[in-house]
Chains A and B, each alone.
Chain A
Amino acid sequence: MNLVDFQRRMFEDVSRPLTREWKTRIQTDEGESVAAIANSYITPNDRLTSFERLEIYNRQYWFRLIDAVSEDFPALQAVLGARRFDSMILGYLVDTPSTSFSLRDLGASLPKWLERNPHHAGSRLRLALDVVALEWAYVEAFDRAALPPMVESDLHQLNDASTLMLQPHLQLLKLSYPVDELVLAVHRGQGTSDIVSNAVVDRKRKVQPRLPKMQRSNVYLAVHRYDNSVYYRRLEPEAYELLSGLQKGRSLGAAIAEAFSTSGDSAEEQAAKIQQCFAHAAELGWFCRPGVAD
């Protein structure tokens, strides 16, 4: 076997899903004996069979990945409960193996995946989708770039046709529940952890915090970084629409028109809201200086 084929063989064996008891499966999906496969390239020793030696890596693979994703979504785990959460993460990782050198990116597709696989969230789908979106937004806001912000003189150059680039760390969310309170409550009870060693012996479990009661109400949220801390800031619906339009690359005139398309506000009220939105955004440095992205 050449080296690439050897690595494909072992990757398949190491990443094969475990049994419910977190053990290596005896058979592949195609009905092949995993012990026979292990024997074909792994030598046994006086204490362990080839299968048992493979199992060490097979378990490590899953424990490491599950722990890495779980670490970024503690509130989702609290909402779904440990069992449902585990089976969801497993389903996600089977469908979405890591394609980045960094574990940081592992949960990136979870919000979209959960939307496509709603049965994993049970009866609390809407709440779970809000929580997963907010927790991923936190990861993005935490370490995405902060580019040089616009200065006052840049603002004076703007007209209807201008397009504005928003800070890469700024995440805009439209939520059906005030999950910012829930996520904050869970994160407050969490310690941080760093890189783990080569070895993962067992699954770790964190104590579940008490969750605040959630009542449906639309919440528009900016998740952003300021002075190296991540903040959740609630927005007016029009400010959310306006900023989202700009983020999608609409011109200033088009974004404003869209944001107020269904508004009953008078022209003065609209002007006041636009001004307020811009004042806050500029103060927090959300607009990038023109040309910085090139």
Chain B
Amino acid sequence: MPANRFNGFTDYGIGVGLRVPHYEHIFAERPVVDWFEIISENYMVDGGRPLKILDQILEQYRVVQHGVSMYFGSAQPANYEHLRRLKELVKRTKTPWLSDHLCWGSVDGRYTHDLLPLPYTFEAIRTTARRIREVQDFLEIPISVENVSSYVEFQESQMTEWEFLNEVVHEADCGILLDVNNIYVSSQNHGFDPFEYVNSVAADRVAQIHIAGHSKFEKYTLDTHDHPVLDPVWRMYARAIERVGPTATLLEWDDNIPSFEEVHREALKANQYLAAAASKSLEVLA
């Protein structure tokens, strides 16, 4: 049973990000994996090997698309060439939902290729929610927005990040991809309680969860995705699952990528929390 109306995909279980260094292993060993998350932009090309590989993956696995360049929070009109290409890919993968970040990254036709945080203002809520609706209407699939990690806060902000997130998804009527590692990273950088964030987020809209590793530096914490998930992030994950119920979960590992088996093993650690949540929801039903 779906945990909420944005999460019809509870049975997706635990996915792994599809990464180039793992192609060989995946095709040779055909490991059992619940689903793969792909970075949409890597496959928004006209032809060649990326699409061939994707088609081979699609023959055997379920694929969910995750984007890095939609920039829902960029204030100027959407780039329809981008959306058209994305829709082509959506048709190819038949992704049941699509996620991208609650951030901005382009202005006046120039792209930073970064996930830049927004000022938490009412104008930003309106602008971002409008864009999410527009994209959702065009692509004709459910959209979930992901909270980003950040290293700055803005004078103009009028609310907390979680209040901002809740307002945006409410106004856009979309789902949330809750990245608990990003929450942790931001909490370290901005000095808030990460559990207050997890406890406040609109649980009935969480469609997917990201877990990942991060790195602590002397004066700040960076979202590096280059090693295993750290304990505080697992604790936040456990709390999120407790609130949301069993939810499609994905481990992000993008740098210093170890063997596929190691990444998968790390991801599957999430199972213990998912199992606990599942038995709890059964108890409630009984």
Contact flags (1/0) for A1-15 with B, using CB distance below 8 Å?
A: 111101110110011
A215 interface residue, CB < 8 Å from B?
Answer: no
B152 close to A101 (CB less than 8 A): no
Residues of B within 8 A of A54 (CB): 152
Chain B interface residue count, CB cutoff 8 Å, equals: 64
Q: Shortest Cβ distance from A293 into chain B, in angstroms?
A: 12
B156, B212, B252: the one contacting A6 at CB < 8 Å is B156
A146 interface residue, CB < 8 Å from B?
Answer: yes
With A42-B152, A48-B220, A198-B148 as contacts: A68 and B113 at CB distance below 8 Å: yes
**Interface range for A:** 35 or more
A143 interface residue, CB < 8 Å from B?
Answer: yes
Binds B, one of A59-67, A154-162, A172-180: A59-67
With A3-B75, A42-B154, A197-B223 as contacts: A103 and B47 at CB distance below 8 Å: no
With A3-B127, A195-B39, A196-B255 as contacts: A43 and B153 at CB distance below 8 Å: yes
B156 close to A1 (CB less than 8 A): yes
B149 interface residue, CB < 8 Å from A?
Answer: yes
Contact flags (1/0) for A128-147 with B, using CB distance below 8 Å?
A: 00000000000000111110
B22: nearest residue on chain A (CB-CB)? A194
A4, A169, A199, A225: the one contacting B76 at CB < 8 Å is A4
Q: Shortest Cβ distance from B116 into chain A, in angstroms?
A: 7
For the complex, what is the distance from the CA of A82 to the CA of B78, rounded to whole Å?
38
For the complex, what is the distance from the CA of A104 to the CA of B119, rounded to whole Å?
29
A14 close to B112 (CB less than 8 A): yes
Please provide the chain A residues from 272 to 286 with a CB less than 8 Å away from any CB of chain B in the complex.
none
B223 close to A198 (CB less than 8 A): yes
Q: Shortest Cβ distance from B280 into chain A, in angstroms?
A: 33
A45 close to B153 (CB less than 8 A): yes
A230: nearest residue on chain B (CB-CB)? B48
A41, A57, A142: the one contacting B114 at CB < 8 Å is A57
Residues of B within 8 A of A225 (CB): 47-48
Please provide the chain A residues from 36 to 80 with a CB less than 8 Å away from any CB of chain B in the complex.
40-43, 45-48, 50, 52-54, 56-57, 60-61, 64-65, 68
Residues of A within 8 A of B263 (CB): none
Residues of B within 8 A of A122 (CB): none
B217: nearest residue on chain A (CB-CB)? A201
B74 interface residue, CB < 8 Å from A?
Answer: yes
Q: Shortest Cβ distance from A56 into chain B, in angstroms?
A: 4
B19 interface residue, CB < 8 Å from A?
Answer: yes
Contact flags (1/0) for A220-258 with B, using CB distance below 8 Å?
A: 000001001100000000000000000000000000000
Residues of A within 8 A of B272 (CB): none
A168 interface residue, CB < 8 Å from B?
Answer: yes
- Looking at B107, B123, B257, the one whose CB has the most chain A CB atoms below 10 A away is B107
A11 close to B107 (CB less than 8 A): yes
B71: nearest residue on chain A (CB-CB)? A101
With A3-B127, A7-B74, A198-B149 as contacts: A43 and B189 at CB distance below 8 Å: no
- Given A53-B152, A61-B112, 16 more A-B residue pairs with CB atoms under 8 Å apart are A7-B74, A8-B107, A40-B155, A43-B154, A48-B219, A101-B69, A101-B79, A101-B82, A144-B47, A194-B42, A197-B252, A198-B115, A198-B225, A199-B223, A199-B224, A228-B52
Report, nearest first, the 7 A-B pairs whose CB atoms are least far apart.
A197-B225, A145-B46, A143-B45, A143-B48, A197-B254, A101-B69, A3-B75
Which A residues contact B (CB, under 8 angstroms)? 1-4, 6-8, 10-11, 14-15, 40-43, 45-48, 50, 52-54, 56-57, 60-61, 64-65, 68, 97-104, 142-146, 168-169, 192-199, 201, 225, 228-229
